[in-house]
Amino acid sequence: MSTENKPYVIGLDLGGTNSVFGIVDANANVVAETSVKTRGHGPVEQYVADCVAALDVIIEQVGGIEKIKAMGIGAPNGNYYTGCIEFAPNLPWGTEVIPLAKMFSEALGIPVAMTNDANAAAIGEMTYGAARGMKNFIMITLGTGVGSGIVCDGKLVYGSDGMAGELGHVVVMRPNGRECGCGRKGCLETYCSATGVARTAREILSTSDAPTLLREIPLDQIESKDISIAASKGDEVAKSIMDFTGRLLGEACADFCCINSPEAFIFFGGLTKAGDLIMDPIRQGYDDNILKCYKGKAKMLISQLDDAKAAVLGASALGWEL
């Protein structure tokens, strides 16, 4: 792991909304943190420059770049083999292949590795959280999009090209499924991400006159947390949105179970803060659709780590391997 001269690594959790950085020691302590907005920088070169400017501040806090061994990045559509982000629909540069690991390496002067953001969260959960000791599990991240990390026999599944495990882009709705940023229609992400939940709410409010607390919020400003709060207050429309979302995700997990017969599905991200309002329909959708040979075997768990911490720690773990 660390050496006496280079006791830290950097982890980057690159999300569709925020890019969260942590400087991590060999005992998994995040000793310094910073973040920048992922959007609004213009070209990717400016994004990297702005990130490095923010990083410089916390790097100096730990003694300078000479104390940093390497950096790991968890990013949507991040390719472990190439260090590139490849056509990530929820990022500003989604139509491109971005050699982000190389760009950060050249800017910082240290080795940099990359993996899918959900894979990074899975590594963090397997090392520090609810998946400790598990050899087969599926991590589902519910944020701006829906990500996943598949662990089989204690190893992440990367596939032949480094891009395996994109369960958020499995089509779950035919015909007339919602358009997804990836170019397909009916992807799980368009329904069960935080943005998908808000989209469901807007559709319902636009086509129904049912009374709901959500009408107190401008239609274009409704967020998933607003729906969760309303549901917790007993709002029937909000509860129906959570039920629809959870059941659809549970049905998808019943299909995903066929991939590696996991010990558990571990859910991570802001949507999980709804607790049983989302988890109960997930379990119901799963139980109603699971093959009999798998019934009652997989646990449905919420991540034990903070929203950003699992992905930052998981990403940082890549740095120790360089």
Instruction: From residue 201, give the alpha-carbon distance in Å to each of 175, 197, 205, 253, 278.
Output: 20, 6, 6, 23, 15
Of 182, 152, 144, 185, nearest to 166 by C-alpha is 182
pLDDT tens digits along 285-295: 999 999 999 99
Which residues are CB-contacts of 60 (< 8 A; sequence separation ≥ 6)? none
> Which comes out higher in pLDDT, residue 309 or 273?
273
Maximum CA pair distance of the chain? Answer: 65
CB 149 within 8 A of CB 118: yes
Instruction: With cut-offs at 50, 70 and 90, classify the pLDDT of residue 123.
Output: confident
What's the pLDDT at 4? 66
Confidence of residue 308 (pLDDT cuts 50, 70, 90): low
Q: Which of 74, 100, 70 is nearest to 85 (CA)?
A: 100
- Chain position carrying tokens 């998946």: 131
Which is nearest to 169 in space by CA: 140, 201, 136? 140
Q: Are domains 8-122+308-320 and 133-302 of this chain identical in fold?
A: yes
Q: pLDDT per residue over 154-187, tens digit each?
A: 999 999 999 899 999 999 999 999 999 889 999 9
For the chain, the domains span 8-122+308-320, 133-302
What is the token pair recorded at 59?
A: 């790097």
Q: In the prediction, which pLDDT does 2 show?
A: 43
Structure token pair of residue 16 = 């569709």
Residue 215 pLDDT more than 50?
yes
Interatomic CA distance for residues 78 and 187, integer angstroms = 19
Give the three-class secondary structure for 32.
strand
Q: Which fold has domain 8-122+308-320?
A: Nucleotidyltransferase; domain 5 (3.30.420)
Supply the pLDDT for residue 94.
75
pLDDT value at residue 127: 82
CATH number of 133-302: 3.30.420.40
Q: Per residue in 235-256, pLDDT tens?
A: 999 999 999 999 999 999 999 9
Q: What is the mean pLDDT of residues 225-244?
A: 97
Q: Can you read off the two tokens belonging to residue 149?
A: 């990390």
Type and span of the H or E element at 13: strand 8-14
Average pLDDT of the chain is: 93
Q: Residues 39-51: what's their mean pLDDT?
A: 96
SS3 320: helix
